Structures are given as structure tokens and as C-alpha cells.
Structure 1
Amino acid sequence: MDSLITAAARALAAGDPISALKRVALRDDAPALALRGIAMAQLGDFVRAKTLLKSAARAFGPREAVARARCVLAEAEIALVSRDLTWPQKALERARTTLEARGDRINAAHARNLEIRRLLLIGRLGEAEHLLAGMDPAALPPALKAAHELAIAGIAIRRIKAKAAREALTRAELAARAAGIPGLTTEVESAFRLLNTQAARLIASGEERPLLLDEVEVLLASGALVVDACRNVVRGADVVVSLATRPVLFALVRALAEAWPADVSRSALLARAFGARYADESHRARLRVEIGRLRAELRELADVSATTRGFALAPCRAPEIVVLAPPVEESHAAVLAFLADGESWSSSALAIALATSPRTVQRALEHLAAAGKVQSFGRARARRWMMPPLPGFPTALLLPGPLPSG
């Protein structure tokens, strides 16, 4: 490899795309095309970057498998940053396998890290942890070590383990400083700010107050009966009942929990669960049926008893009942949570991340656009949606993922 290619590669590794382009901007050989593509990606011109990387992959001969795999790796990173979740993940897995087989352990580790970041983005924490377990951070250079620790912190935040997240971010900060890449340092600082941002709201005995992630962790370990409106579950000391697919039942238990230890009138429950303005006998009959279903679901955690004017919730063993609510509640909050990262998303990528239908996402985006909360650019398949980051809006607790273990 000639000296200009070597110097350009070192500049890119240090996060200096301008210096890299000065050395290879006028060259059209395969290594130069690949470096130009990476430089354009670092500068934010993803369309041009993808074109250059595809040209480089074609220009490398069939015997240059490692170089072609590195081009695929760069394309995968661009897809992740631009939130193109439809990009073929199998191609990245094949590239990683090739790099591991040919002894390029650094780029293979980078490929594995990209897979982990994608899994985190769509809430598949178990698979992300499995891939993390196969990595040895001690053998990684500082930049990859920082990315590795950021992934560990991301999992810890989503599992509501504040101490583990803080320790991982401290290690990431040290590695980012050693790498000397400003963008990486900024990413670590942003993750640190998340730990000091309101993560949820506590509603108990008619009062409400904000909670940080550390306080959420303490609450979940306190033994209280927690009606978690972030994930639509009811959680006791050692039992978790998911009502994510039972919206009526969750609306009922949340209304009862917010009023605890008082009861809630039948008319208030009908309005909360069914949106009924005027209750007739059919509404009351349906309420009795749904209350019976709720009793069956919560039999290990709480009892739902009838009172003169309605129903009341009483814990079986827990000392108190509280509601853990998202910091911001409005229609289509999950879509806003993803868009709040400041990146541009396609509707298909949002559908994958939210595990819902593309048409449902499109309707939500149209509603939010009409309200002036999101905006789009491009047309047809190139259309992307984005919004300015909301100050103090923590997306991590709203992302899909399993509950922390007891």
C-alpha cells in the first residue's frame, strides 16, 4: 500500500476526513475509492459515500476478500447511522466471518459492534448480550473499546441498572479520550447526560414527582407494587404480569393504582377504559367482565374488590401501590421517542424498530406532521422523517425491550 493511502487511512482512523480527502480525492483506484467513501460518510454525505463504497467493492478483485468485506462493513455502518434498518444484515455477518477467518480481528470486532448497536436499536437485548460475550475488550484499540463500553452501558440503561451503566460510561470516557476522536467523546458525554435526565414519573397517593434512572432502579427493588406504564406491566417483588396486549385491562389497573388507597367510581373507570361518556347496562356488564379478567391476571399480586361506588385495588403483600409513568405522555409517544435521537428515519425502519405495521407508523407520522411535531424530506422510498431533539426527553426507557430481572 502506498504512502498516500496509508496516510489517508490514518487520518480517517483519527476522525479527520478532510486530511484524508486531500490525499486521495483525485484517485480512482479501489483503495482510494474506499477511503473516499468512508471520508464522505464521516462528513455526512451518505448518498455519495454509498456510491463510492459500492464502486470500491466492485473494483477490488475476487481474491481481495478482506478489502471487499471492509467495504461491506463501511456500508453497514452508514446504514445504521442513517437508520436504514432494511439493509441486509446477513451481508454484515458474512463480512464479519470473512474478516475473522482472514485474521483481521480489529475490523471483525467493529463488525460485531455494529451488529450489537443494531440489536440495541430494535430492543433485542438478549441477542446483543450474546454477541458482547464473544468480545475481549482488552484486545481492542481505544475507539473500539469506547464503542464496546457504550454498548454495555446501553444494555444496562435499558435493563435499568444505573450503577453498571455509569461504570461502563466511565470506562468509555477514558477510552474515548485515549482515541482522541471528538465525535466519540461527544457520544459518551451525551450518554452520561441521559443518566442525569428525568427517566420517568412516579404517581402515588394522588401526587406526582420526576425520577432519575437511579431512583427508578431503587423503586423497582423496593418491594412496592409497581404499575409500569412505560412497558404496560404490573410488577411485584418477584412476579411480573404483562398487560402489553391487554390495553383495557391496563387502563383499568392504572386508574385503580393512581387512586390507591381510595376507590374509583364505575363511571370513571368506564370513561378511562372504554371512553364511554354515558354508561348504560351494556357498558356496566362489560366493565364487570373486564374487572373479572383483571382479577384473574393479578391474582398473585393484588385483589380488585367492589365498593359502593366502584372498585378498589389492594396489594396482596406489597406495602404500597405506585404508578411508574413515562416522562412525556401523548399520542404516538413511541414514534416521537425514536425520532428524538435527531436522526432521520424512514417509516419502514420505524416499523421494524417498533415491531408494528408500516401503515400504522405512516398514520402516526401523518398525524404528528399535521400537528407540526415532525417533518419529512425526500419522496417515495427516499422519504425520511425527523424532528429536533427534545431537551430532556429520554428515549431509552421508551424503547422496546424486556423488563429487568428481579
Structure 2
Amino acid sequence: MDSLITAAARALAAGDPLGALKRVALRDDAPALALRGIAIAQLGDLERARTLVRSAARAFGPREAVARARCIVAEAEIALAARDLGWPVKTLDAARITLETHGDVINAAHARYLEVRRLLLIGRLDEADALLADIVPDALPPALHAIHALAVAGIAMRRVRARDARVALAQARSAARRAGIAALDAEVDGVSRMLDAPAARRLTRREPMPMPMRLDDVETLFASDTLIADACRYAVRDAHTVVSLATRPVLFALACALAAAWPGDVARDALVARAFRLKLADASHRARLRVEIGRLRTLLEPIARIRATRDGYALEPRVARDVVVLARPVDDAHAAVLACLADGESWSSSALAIALGASQRSVQRALETLAAEGKAQTLGRGRAVRWITPPVPEFATTLLLPATPPGG
């Protein structure tokens, strides 16, 4: 490898894409194309970068398996930055195996971290955790050590383990400073701001105004002697048991109404209006309410009773001494879509559908609603259209993104 290619590679490793381009901008051999693509990706032109990296992969000969694998890893990183979550994961896995076979430990670890970051984006935390467990970060350069710690922090935040997240972020900050890469420092700072921003709001009958809560406060609440109707994850829980109602919206609406009124009761007509979205209730609606209350009573049996009163129903925790509703940090029907857009990247509707586990059409309807309200805007046209959100007051997106239930 000639001196200019070596110098450009070192500049990229140090986070200096302009320095790398100065050395290889006028060259079109395979190594130069690969380095130009990575440099341009760091500068933000992802489509041009992807074209260059693909050209480099084709330019490398069949005997240059390691170089081609490195190009595949670079293209996967560009796809992740572009939120192309449908990029073929098996291709990246094959490239990682090639790199491991040929002893390129650093780039193989980088490929695994890309897999982890994709899994984290789509909420598959157990799989991301298992991949991380196979990597020993101490043997890696500081930059990859920082990426490892950021992944650990991201998983901890999704699982509402704020203390673990802060420990991991401290490790990430230390490693990023040792690496001397400004972009890594900025990423650590961004995650730290998210951890310190409001993550949810606490609602009770005794408090007229919702109380903002950071992730640390939510973690403390989950460990306390409190029954919680969690409107961020659609579950009812206490310190020991989680009852998921994510697929039972009517039952969850009833649970939230009863929790918000505790220790009082809720009138039957009010419950019909809340659960069935009806202004007037007749005998058939009240009969349906009795059926749904019976189903909810069965599901909540381990942690709470539902008692019939003269006017309606009341919630009675079995062990917990308090009851609260944990509401979303933003009062918006499409908060989960906003949570994804809030990362500052441009998303396609198909990528949002993958990340949220929803149909693409429902995501498109949500985006159209948000655009009409001025909360989202488009880039590009036709099939290339991407979605971003204008600057909004900071809030932590952790509790709005898909993941295993808190405590899972």
C-alpha cells in the first residue's frame, strides 16, 4: 500500500475526512475509491459515498477478499447512517466472518458493532446483548471501545436502567477522549443529554399537573412500592410483576382510567367513553364494559383487584401502596414516530415501519398527519423521499421506542 493511501487511512481513523480527501481525491484505484467513499460518508453525502464504496468493492480482484469485505462493512455503516434498515444483514455477517478468518480483528469487531446498532434501533435488545457479550472491548482501539460502551448504554436506557447507562456513558466519554475523534465526543454528549431530559410524566389524582420524570426517576419508580399504568410501554406493573397490555388497547385504556382515579372509582359511562370512544352509552355498551372489565380483572389478578362500586369500578392494589399513571413525555398520538425522527437522521417510511414494528401504510398516515401539523418535513421526492423533524424541545425518546417490557 502506497504512502498516500496509508496517510489517508490514518486521517480517517483520526476523524479527519478532509485530510483523507486531500490525499486521494484525484485517484480512482480501488483503495482510493474506498477511502473517498468513507470520507464523503463522514461529511454527510451518503448516496455518493455508497456509490464510491460499491465501485471500490467491484474494483478489488477476487483474490482481495479482505479488501472486499472491508468495503461491505463500510457500505453497511453507510446504510445504517442512512437508516436503510432493510440492507442485507447476511451480507454483513459473511463479511465479518471473512475478516475474522483472515485475522482482521478490528474491522470484524466494527462489523459486529454495526449489527448491534441495527438491532438496537429495531428494539431487539436480547440479540444485541448476546452479540456484545462475544466482544472483548479492552483489546480494541479507543474508538471501538467508545462504540461498545455507547451500545451498552443504549441497551441499558431501553431497559430503564439509568444507573447502568451512566456508568457506560462515563466509559464511552473516556474512550472517546482517548481516541481524539470529535464526532464520537458529540455522540456521547447527545446520549448524555437524552439521559438527562424528561423521559415520561407522572399522573395521579392528587397532582393537578403532570410531573416530568427523567429516566433515573422512572427507574426508581419501577423499584418502588407503586402500581404503575405505564402508557409508554402499554403495561401495568409493580416492582415484581409486569402485565403487558400492548395488544389489548381497550383493556389498557380501562386500566389507565382506573389508575388515574385511584383511590376513587370511575363511573361506568366515563369508562365507556374512555375505552370505546363513545359520547353516549346504552345498555349494550355497559354490557360490553362488564365483559372487558372481567378480562382486565383476570389479567391483573396477580397485582390488583377491580372492585365494583355503586357508580362504577375502582382499582385496589394487592401489595402496592400507591398508584400512578406513567404518561408519555410528549402528548402526541404519533409520539413513537417522533421518537425515531428525533435522532436527527432522515428516515424513510419503510425504515420507520421496520423500527416500530408497524405497517408501512400506518407509518405513512402518521407522517402525513405530523407534516400537516408542522412536526415533520420531507427531503427528496418520489421513492427517494425521506422524513426529518424540525427542532423541538428536548425529550428522551427511550420509553417511546420498541423494546422488551421494562424489567424484561
Task: Check whether the contact 1:200–1:325 (CA below 8 A) recurs between aligned residues.
Answer: yes
Task: Check whether the contact 1:304–1:312 (CA below 8 A) recurs between aligned residues.
Answer: yes
Q: Supply the AA of the counterpart residue of 1:50.
A: R
Task: Check whether the contact 2:198–2:213 (CA below 8 A) recurs between aligned residues.
Answer: yes
- 1:308 partnered with 2:299: no
Pairing 1:4-15 to 2, within 5 Å after superposition: 4-15=4-15
- Structure 1 moving runs of 4+ over 2 Å: 388-391, 403-406
State the match for 2:283 in structure 1: 281
Task: Check whether the contact 1:223–1:319 (CA below 8 A) recurs between aligned residues.
Answer: yes
SS in 1 for 2:310: coil
State the match for 1:117 in structure 2: 117
Pairing 1:6-405 to 2, within 5 Å after superposition: 6-207=6-207, 208-405=210-407
Structure 2 spans left out of the alignment, 5+ residues: none
Q: Separation in 2 of the partners of 1:200 and 1:365? A: 23
Task: Check whether the contact 2:195–2:396 (CA below 8 A) recurs between aligned residues.
Answer: no
Q: Separation in 2 of the partners of 1:9 and 1:237? A: 51
Deviation at 1:404, TM superposition (A): 3.4
Q: Separation in 2 of the partners of 1:237 and 1:28? A: 61
The CA deviation string for residues 168-224 of structure 1, in whole angstroms up to 9 with x for no partner, is 100110100011111100100111112211111111234131111111111101121
**Mean alpha-carbon deviation: is it higher for 71-80 or for 265-274?**
265-274
Structure 1 spans left out of the alignment, 5+ residues: none
Q: Supply the AA of the counterpart residue of 1:4.
A: L
Q: Separation in 1 of the partners of 2:230 and 2:187? A: 29
Aligned length: 406
The normalised TM-score by structure 1 is 0.98
Q: Separation in 2 of the partners of 1:371 and 1:328? A: 15
The CA deviation string for residues 356-379 of structure 1, in whole angstroms up to 9 with x for no partner, is 111111111111112221111222
Q: Supply the AA of the counterpart residue of 1:147.
A: I
SS in 1 for 2:239: coil
**Mean alpha-carbon deviation: is it higher for 323-332 or for 68-77?**
323-332
**Mean alpha-carbon deviation: is it higher for 124-133 or for 395-404?**
395-404
SS in 2 for 1:23: helix
Q: Separation in 1 of the partners of 2:214 and 2:28? A: 52
Q: Separation in 1 of the partners of 2:182 and 2:215? A: 27
Task: Check whether the contact 2:377–2:390 (CA below 8 A) recurs between aligned residues.
Answer: no
Q: Separation in 2 of the partners of 1:89 and 1:388? A: 31
